[in-house]
Structure 1
Amino acid sequence: MAQKSNFHFSIREYTPSDRLVLMSFFRDGIMEHVYPAFFKTMSHPDHIGIALSISMAGYVLGGSSYFQALLFGSAWAGLLYYCCHEIYEGYMMRWLCTDMADIQTSYLENPDNGFWVAEADVKGRTKVVGMLAVMGKRGMEEAERFDDLNGGVAAGGSEFFQDAGDGSHGEMFHMVVAFPWRRKNVGSLLMQKALDFCKEQGYTRLVLDVSSPQTAAISLCQKFGFVKTATHSNTHANRWFSKLARINVMRMEKCVSS
């Protein structure tokens, strides 16, 4: 059960002085998903079966050696961990080299985009505790992006892809809340800011991609009425890494009332 927050939170636009703390938030916020992804992958029945088979092979090849059985099984687990790590590290590095390399230019100098930080008032001093970005997209940009996804499958709510007008919409990125400040409504405040921004811009919907191990993010989206409209396996890492890690990416969307 979430505890009642005794802190006052506010959302404001990004300033260059926020850069260092946000870079740390971003790195930590992405890489923290490696372990949940690994444990989810290892618990899959197929991988459990493979691990047992490999361990048995090690046992037999090692002349009834329990050590070799453990070694073979550990090698398989290590491979799966490596796949999970490469997926999230690759995602992180991709964004650090693109829009996060120059937030001012990528977001604040483009009226279609927005980048905000969440602040907490702690004993009269403000502390940055979260971040969120929204990038304006055009209808054709969305269609081209989805066509490029390997393994893309439309799910329930596919009617969300059919927008009025030119199909302009907002795409949400980089929502991160610092660990000590979670379950204090910060994520909800950031999400509401993104929805309000989309409404002000005249966007018909807000969309985001979330990986299957990110259960907290999925729950937050569902709380705000987002629905899953597609799934794909394009993690921007080696395709075999995604297959072995069994990480899927879900597209979540919500219509924005005008």
Structure 2
Amino acid sequence: MEMKNNFQFSIRGYEASDRRDVLALLADGVQEHVYPAFFRTLAYPDHVGVALSVCVAGYVLGGSSYFQALLFGGAWAGLLYYCCHEVHQGYLQRRLAAARGKASFLDGFLDGSSLWVAETEVGGRTRVVGAVAVQGVKGDAGGRGERGEDRTGGEEEVEEEEEGVFERYGELPLMVVSYGRRRRGLGSLLALKALETCKGRGYTRLVVDSSSPQAAANALYQKLGFVQTASHCESHANRWISMLARVDVLTLEKLL
């Protein structure tokens, strides 16, 4: 069903022809958080202390050279930027690699019932400026479970099996809005579309993974009633890179 607001956004089911636009939105959405993550990690007290120590070391080793001090300090800042870039770029590459496979999160939603795109007119042409997806999960009540293409919607949210009690809940594997179309209510429309879908399928809750640099997205989730339930700094990157990047992965949930 198509939905519109005062800014002439329309939300419709995802189609195969939208693939390139959605992947481009995903790439832009991930890469834009590199600089915020870098400035956040640069300002951590312990990292500031290391930067000052490195600058002093450069000054002394360079024979009272201010240039050497700046050079050493710049090298430390460059290392932190590299770590932040690696964490985000590695995540993006994994998502893009999955999107080229047969079992990707995009290929699984070709019927348009679990992934939607938002369109608007730009320069007389209709362009995709946002996307949101819902993925059904069955797992232990209160915990993470196995993801699947759960589109039944009419089944009971909790099943009792020999192993224990299971629930069906939703995850948000993708929600992105084009940078130039933000602060116009589109993010809220997409999130509400996901919430309505989860309620219609009888899911117990909606879970989304975010990160500490995504300040605007986290504020939107909290405004819609999501509560942070977990946080960690582990990533696919090398352990030392993850430690230096200091990017916290946040889990937020909303009960339905």
Cα separation, 2, equivalents of 1:103 and 1:144: 18
| 5+ residue gaps, structure 2 | 147-156, 160-165
| 5+ residue gaps, structure 1 | 147-162
Which residue in the other structure is 1:186 paired with?
A: 186
Cα separation, 2, equivalents of 1:208 and 1:78: 31
Q: CA offsets per residue over residues 184-208 of structure 1, 9 Å max, x none?
A: 1110010001101111111100001
SS of structure 2 residue aligned to 1:184: coil
Cα separation, 1, equivalents of 2:238 and 2:143: 23
Cα separation, 2, equivalents of 1:59 and 1:200: 64
Moved more, 231-240 or 36-45: 231-240
Identity of aligned residues (%): 54
Which residue in the other structure is 1:157 paired with?
A: none
1:104–1:243 distance in 2 versus 1, CA, 3 Å? closer
TM-align CA RMSD: 2.3
- Matches for 1:108-119 after TM superposition, within 5 Å: 108=110, 114-119=114-119
User: Quick one: higher RCO (CA 8 Å, sep 6+), 1 or 2?
Assistant: 1
- Matches for 1:172-183 after TM superposition, within 5 Å: 172-183=172-183
Cα separation, 1, equivalents of 2:238 and 2:136: 28
Q: Give the residue type in structure 1 aligned to 2:28.
A: D
Shift of 1:7: 1.9
SS of structure 1 residue aligned to 2:117: strand
CA contact under 8 A between 2:132 and 2:172: conserved in structure 1? yes
Which residue in the other structure is 1:45 paired with?
A: 45
Cα separation, 2, equivalents of 1:177 and 1:205: 23
Cα separation, 2, equivalents of 1:130 and 1:100: 20
- Matches for 1:128-143 after TM superposition, within 5 Å: 128-140=128-140, 143=143
SS of structure 2 residue aligned to 1:97: helix
CA contact under 8 A between 1:99 and 1:106: conserved in structure 2? no
Shift of 1:135: 1.0
Shift of 1:250: 0.9
Which residue in the other structure is 1:80 paired with?
A: 80
1:104–1:229 distance in 2 versus 1, CA, 3 Å? closer
- Matches for 1:8-27 after TM superposition, within 5 Å: 8-27=8-27
Q: Give the residue type in structure 1 aligned to 2:176.
A: V
Shift of 1:174: 2.0
Shift of 1:105: 3.0
SS of structure 2 residue aligned to 1:54: helix
Cα separation, 2, equivalents of 1:220 and 1:201: 23
Cα separation, 1, equivalents of 2:202 and 2:53: 56
Structure number having the greater helix percentage: 1
Moved more, 218-227 or 236-245: 236-245
> How many pairs does the alignment contain?
234
Moved more, 187-196 or 116-125: 116-125
- Matches for 1:81-230 after TM superposition, within 5 Å: 81-99=81-99, 101=101, 102-103=104-105, 105-108=107-110, 114-121=114-121, 125-140=125-140, 143=143, 164-165=158-159, 166-230=166-230
Shift of 1:49: 0.9
Q: Give the residue type in structure 2 aligned to 1:229.
A: T
1:192–1:6 distance in 2 versus 1, CA, 3 Å? closer
CA contact under 8 A between 2:99 and 2:106: conserved in structure 1? no
Shift of 1:103: 4.9
Shift of 1:42: 0.5
Which residue in the other structure is 2:150 paired with?
A: none
CA contact under 8 A between 2:98 and 2:105: conserved in structure 1? no
Shift of 1:85: 0.3
TM-score (norm 1): 0.84
TM-score (norm 2): 0.84
Q: Give the residue type in structure 1 aligned to 2:135.
A: M
Shift of 1:131: 0.8
CA contact under 8 A between 2:233 and 2:248: conserved in structure 1? yes
